[in-house]
Amino acid sequence: MIRPTTIPQTLDELIIEHGVAREALRLGFYHHKFLARGLRGVRPAADLSKIFWRKVELETYIDMLRVNLIGGTGGLLSHAPRRVQSALILIDGFQPEGITQLIQDSVFMFPHLGVLSTVQPEMAYEVFEKDAVVRLGCCISPRGPVIYEDKGEKLEEVVEDELIKVELTMRDGGVKTESLNLGEMRRIPLLVGEFVDVKITPHERCDMGLGLGKTVTAKVEGGVAGIIIDARGRPRILPEDREEMKRTLVRWLKVLTAYPEALIKRFEDG
């Protein structure tokens, strides 16, 4: 984007710009993770308990299961016509794992408030809370599935049906159960400031933060995009066949109502 202050005027321009943003975030985050890793050249202390973790530290310090909040800023997100588009860009770019709150900067205020906070911290915080932060919602996504290819395992044999089950206890006491197979996404409307109790049971080869197959309970907040359950796998699994991949991408956009119906129909019609 060599003219970053311009605004997409057509839907085609918009969706291409969003695609570029996803890829830019993915590559930028990949590079960041590459840098955020253990110091090279240090001889580790002879502590057997650390031997296992050393391998992980060499890859990156960043454990997405421990990242509870992702915030996006910049004109592209601010100008996104539907907030769910911003949420999807952040989810696709960073591939959050576990339960992750998503927020975005309303009109590129975060950096300026950072400067203001050095002289007027209370004022900066108030503006940050009330005007700068847009609560997009929450992403629920398990890490995995873990497939041991060296043992001859195949994805479709290990994960035959349900990848994740989410039970939501709504404010009125009613319980809503969402069951998603691998490759599915779902969006559950829940407004900003509303909370629900969730009980998440991942597939035995998936991890929500407590270990493979372990059930997790939590209270999560909604947002303008609601709760997004992402069962596309982490790392995200895409069909290898190009046509199937296109159909899959359109299906995700449709289920999230991320773009106008007319555009989705045009994609579906090929």
Tell the smallest beta-carbon distance from residue 54 to another protein (Å).
16
Phi, psi of 186 (to 5 degrees): -150, 145
Residue from 34, 61, 66, 111 binding another protein (CB under 8 A): 111
Instruction: Annotate the chain with DSSP letters as a single string.
Output: --STT----SHHHHHHHHHHHHHHHHHHHHHHHHHSSPPTTPPPPS-GGGHHHHHHHHH-S--GGG--EEEE-SHHHHT-SSHHHHHHHHHHHH---EEEEEEEESSS-HHHHHHHTTT-HHHHHHHIIIIIEEEEEEEEE-BB----GGGT--HHHH--SEEEEEEEE-TTS-EEEEEEETTEEEEE---TT-EEEEEEEE-TT-BSSSSBT--EEEEEE--TTEEEEEESTBTTP--SSHHHHHHHHHHHHHHTT-S-HHHHHHHHT-
Number of residues binding to another protein, judged by CB under 8 A: 24
Site for another protein in 127-166 (CB under 8 A): none
Distance from CA of residue 182 to its chain's centroid? 16
Residue located via tokens 């195949």: 154
Tell the smallest beta-carbon distance from residue 9 to another protein (Å).
6
The nearer residue to another protein, 107 or 146, going by C-beta atoms, is 107
Site for another protein in 13-72 (CB under 8 A): 13-14, 24, 28, 39, 41-43
Tell the smallest beta-carbon distance from residue 40 to another protein (Å).
8
Task: With beta carbons less than 8 A apart as the criterion, state whether 133 and 192 touch.
Answer: no
Residue from 131, 189, 260, 268 binding another protein (CB under 8 A): 260
Phi, psi of 74 (to 5 degrees): 115, 160
Stretch of 64-72, 74-82, 158-166, 197-205 lying at the interface with another protein (CB under 8 A): 74-82
The nearer residue to another protein, 48 or 262, going by C-beta atoms, is 262
The nearer residue to another protein, 11 or 67, going by C-beta atoms, is 11
The nearer residue to another protein, 160 or 261, going by C-beta atoms, is 261
Stretch of 76-84, 98-106, 156-164, 206-214 lying at the interface with another protein (CB under 8 A): 76-84
Tell the smallest beta-carbon distance from residue 62 to another protein (Å).
20
Q: Taking CB under 8 A as the rule, does residue 126 contact another protein?
A: no
Q: Taking CB under 8 A as the rule, does residue 1 contact another protein?
A: yes
The nearer residue to another protein, 81 or 121, going by C-beta atoms, is 81
Q: Taking CB under 8 A as the rule, does residue 81 contact another protein?
A: yes
Task: Give the footprint of another protein on this chain (CB under 8 A).
Answer: 1-11, 13-14, 24, 28, 39, 41-43, 79, 81-82, 111, 260
